[in-house]
Structure 1
Amino acid sequence: MRFVLQVFGVALMLSGGLWALQGLGLVMWPAESFMLAEQRWALYGTITFLIGLLLFWRAARRR
């Protein structure tokens, strides 16, 4: 279960990071994405990243 939570946490961190960077307009890929330069997606991405970080941290502390 610990490994699954860590993998899921990393997946959330990666996707949240991408969403945040797209929302901030720093990553303009893919060109047809509806998330590009939309600040609400930067917020959603940051929240998703933090949830993934929390999952990963909690799983790492688990015995």
Structure 2
Amino acid sequence: MTIGLLAIVVGALWTVQGLDILPDSKMSGKHVWTFIGAGVAVIGLILTVIGERVRSRSKRQGQ
């Protein structure tokens, strides 16, 4: 889950830089980073959901 959350944050940062909302970076204004960032954020969301399901499943079996 931690890796998923980190991927969401990094992906969001890259997306914002690609959209040139966060200036003063070499990635700012380059639209390829918008798509890469969005993809990384989606992967992070998937990893977070999977991690939460595994965690809740293991808690149920432990009771």
Category of TM-score, reference length = shorter chain: 0.7 to 0.9
Unaligned runs of 5+ residues in structure 1 are: 1-5
Unaligned runs of 5+ residues in structure 2 are: 58-63
Displacement over 2 Å in runs of 4+: none
CA shift, 1:27, in A, is 1.4
TM-score relative to the length of structure 1: 0.83
TM-score relative to the length of structure 2: 0.83
Higher RCO (C-alpha under 8 Å, 6+ residues apart): 1
Identify the match of residue 40 of structure 1 among 9, 32, 47.
Answer: 32
**SS of the counterpart of 2:52?**
helix
Larger radius of gyration: 2
Give me the whole-angstrom Cα distance separating, in 2, the residues matched to 1:60 and 1:25. Answer: 33
CA shift, 1:60, in A, is 0.6
Give me the whole-angstrom Cα distance separating, in 2, the residues matched to 1:8 and 1:57. Answer: 11
User: Percent identity over the alignment?
Assistant: 31
For 1:44, the aligned partner's letter is: I
Structure having the higher helix fraction is 2
Residue 9 of structure 1 pairs with residue 1 of structure 2: no
